[in-house]
Chain A
Amino acid sequence: QKEVEQDPGPLSVPEGAIVSLNCTYSNSAFQYFMWYRQYSRKGPELLMYTYSSGNKEDGRFTAQVDKSSKYISLFIRDSQPSDSATYLCAWTDTQGGSEKLVFGKGTKLTVNP
């Protein structure tokens, strides 16, 4: 089983839609959970991070973590064309004293005006 599974997409939605992006993981050593956004021809940028189960809200974005079920989700409310990008879930793997970042493969989102 792969360590990280992310909904592959691509996803195309109309402006104003609610978007749900999801990742599951198998490694219990994963601790900190993050969502990155990557625009075309740019490096990823951090959107949100959390380390506990539950919801974390930031404007139109909500990150949801369920450690018992090993999944994280990102919800985007009132989606805008400027949200069109690839979204990457990520975790820190702290096994053996290391601090590796593990990324999902990304979900490409297009928000149509």
Chain B
Amino acid sequence: EAQVTQNPRYLITVTGKKLTVTCSQNMNHEYMSWYRQDPGLGLRQIYYSMNVEVTDKGDVPEGYKVSRKEKRNFPLILESPSPNQTSLYFCASSFSTSGSKQYFGPGTRLTVL
């Protein structure tokens, strides 16, 4: 089954404690991205990757890091989480962005205390 998986699905942590949210896709997609979704602000892109070892900033990259060492995986790293990073996070993948269907993961709800 074609899918994007994220782990963990729910996470409560404290300010400053480094965390990683994993994302994996089994569709051999080149393009992967991370979004956060907040009430009243909608879905905003954090980082994206057009292929292995190629990453670029989206609209809200501050406080986040990503890496793309393998085609299937695109982890999101919060080196020092802060309460304003409490949000719902989605990973997505597609063959490209140009009219290509983006497959979204189920989401990770993060709370930073």
CA distance in complex: A56, B33 (Å): 27
A61 at the interface (CB under 8 A from B): no
Q: Are B42 and A44 in contact (CB under 8 A)?
A: no
Min Cβ gap A60→B in Å is: 19
Q: Does B43 contact A (CB under 8 A)?
A: yes
In the bound assembly, the distance between CA atoms of A107 and B22 in angstroms comes to 29
Q: Is A88 in contact with B42, judged by CB distance below 8 angstroms? A: yes
Q: Report A's interface with B, CB cutoff 8 A.
A: 6, 31-32, 34, 36, 41-46, 49-51, 88, 92, 94, 98-106
Instruction: Taking A34-B99, A43-B106 as given, write out 14 further A-B residue pairs in contact, using a Cβ cutoff of 8 Å, ordered by the A residue number.
Output: A31-B98, A42-B107, A43-B4, A50-B99, A51-B99, A88-B43, A92-B98, A98-B56, A99-B31, A99-B98, A100-B59, A103-B35, A103-B43, A105-B41
